[in-house]
Amino acid sequence: MPVQPLRQVGICLNVSTRTDHVADLGELSQLVAGFADSDFTHVELGANGLGVVIAGMAHPARLQALRQALSRCRQRLTLHGSWTGSGRVGNLLDPRSRLAQVGGLMADLEIAAAIGAEVVVYHAGTLGSAYEDDAALEAGLAGERDALRQLGEQAAQHGIVIAVENRAPTPRVIARRSYGMRLDLVAGQVEAVGHPNVTMCLDTGHAFLAAQYLGFDFLGAVRSAAPLVGHVHLADNFGRIGPPDADLREMEFLGEGDLHLPPGWGAIPLREMLSIPFPRDPVIILEIRHLRHHQEALAAYRKLLPPAAGAAR
């Protein structure tokens, strides 16, 4: 029986790191085992917390340990690729580090292939400096497109899709002029890449914050980008931009920033958004921090779906 549109829904399981910055894969094993009998079709892992890429390459021992940790996972997998807020990891827009970045993203693709992940999410890049000009941005965009075509070829060999994610208006993203805050520019970049294994990841929380910051229509922007969307990170927030020095506890208390709340806890018009047609039938990943509320989050998501998406054929 064909899967109904928007019925593929997963949960993001980011693994916390310890004081030595190496993820406890035993914790991951327990997490995936706990979700084994859930109704989620997919599990998304964050490459940052896995400690598999060392010196730009997937380390064989860590890769084997990761595969063992996932042995009880019954869901299909996706992977959020490696990145850092400094832009030194997972950033193809900066020409000074592009060659190294391509190697790092190839390592993420190696991890995805080894664990059978279907998607690798890549954050739209940022410039390396706050003082770059328009010409540098255009050159960066061209270089990122070339790199994504190269990586798309690598991904195609393993049946993997690379999904370029839109960005939130964080201080580093604003200062380094990332095109990624605008959904139309991310969709345009993906379209210009023109590779069947490169698509767009729509992050609802990022998009809603960016819409408030830049003043564009959230639903209109989603509707225009929807034909390019092959993956979705779905979470809620209030669309409030907090000060750059606020910590997560403060932001959550005041309802500011990218809170990764379960659907319905914030102010994003998710019901209206989910009524927009997504021709590529993306996997919806609930990217929420409050994992204890995953069943509530899944139920809330299903209630937001239009009737046609919830009806059996």
Q: Give DSSP secondary structure letters for 27-96.
A: HHHHHHHHTTTSS-SEEEEEGGGT--EETTEE-HHHHHHHHHHTTT--SEEEEEPP--TTSSSS-SS-TT
Query: Residues 102-110: what's their mean pLDDT?
Result: 95
- The top-scoring range by mean pLDDT among 101-105, 163-167, 309-313 is 163-167
* Conformation bin of residue 90: beta by default, left when phi > 0, alpha when psi is -120 to 50: left
CATH number reported for the structural domain that contains residue 266 in this entry: 3.20.20.150
For residue 112, is it left (φ>0), alpha (ψ between -120 and 50) or beta? alpha
Let me know: does 174 contact 138? Beta carbons within 8 Å.
Answer: no
Full-model pTM: 0.94
| Higher per-residue pLDDT: 2 or 106 | 106
Would you say residue 108 has pLDDT above 90? Answer: yes
Give me the pLDDT at residue 115, please: 97
| Range 229-244 average pLDDT | 96
> In the chain, what percentage of residues exceed pLDDT 90?
77
pLDDT at 213 over 80: yes
Q: Look at residue 2 and tell me if it is in a domain.
A: no
Q: Which is it for the CA torsion 308, 190, 156, 54, positive or negative? A: negative
313 belongs to a structural domain: no
- The pLDDT of residue 2 is above 60: no
pLDDT at 312 over 50: no
Helical (H) or strand (E) element with 203: strand 198-203
Is residue 4, in this structure, part of any structural domain at all? no
Domain, as residue range, for 154: 9-307
Q: Is the per-residue pLDDT at 145 higher than 90?
A: yes
On whether residue 312 sits in a domain, the answer given is no
- With 80 as the cut, is the pLDDT of residue 309 above it? no
Closest CA to 63 of 11, 13, 113: 113
pLDDT tens-digit series, residues 147-206: 999 999 999 999 999 999 999 999 889 988 889 999 999 999 999 999 999 999 999 999
**Torsion from C-alpha of 74, 78, 79, 85, nearest 10 degrees:** -120
Q: Is the residue at 93 inside a domain? A: yes
Whether residue 3 is contained in a domain is answered as no
Mean pLDDT score, 91-108 = 91
Note whether 239 and 175 are within 8 A (CB).
no
Instruction: Give pLDDT, residue 313.
Output: 34
Q: List Cα–Cα distances, 56 to 101, 198, 286, in angstroms.
A: 8, 22, 29
d(CA 146, CA 63): 28
Q: Taking residues 65-91, report their average pLDDT.
A: 92
Say if residue 92's pLDDT is above 80. Answer: yes
- Residue 153 belongs to a domain: yes
pLDDT of residue 3: 47
* Number of residues that make up the chain: 313
Q: 41-50, 65-74, 82-91, 272-281: lowest mean pLDDT where?
A: 82-91
Q: From residue 186, how far is each of 31, 205, 237 by CA, in Å?
A: 33, 15, 21
- Give the tens place of pLDDT for each residue, 9-58: 999 997 654 445 556 788 889 989 999 999 999 999 999 888 999 998 99
Whether pLDDT at 114 is above 70: yes
AA identity, residue 14: N
By the 10 Å C-beta count (0-12 exposed, 13-18 middle, 19+ buried), 245 is classed as exposed
Q: Which residue has the higher pLDDT, 84 or 15?
A: 84
CB 60 within 8 A of CB 89: no
Question: Residue 125: its pLDDT value, please?
Answer: 95
> Which of 42-46, 92-96, 100-104 tops mean pLDDT?
42-46
The answer to whether the CB of 125 falls within 8 A of the CB of 96 is: no
Is 117 inside any structural domain? yes
Please state the domain count of the chain. Answer: 1
For residue 255, the model assigns a pLDDT of 97
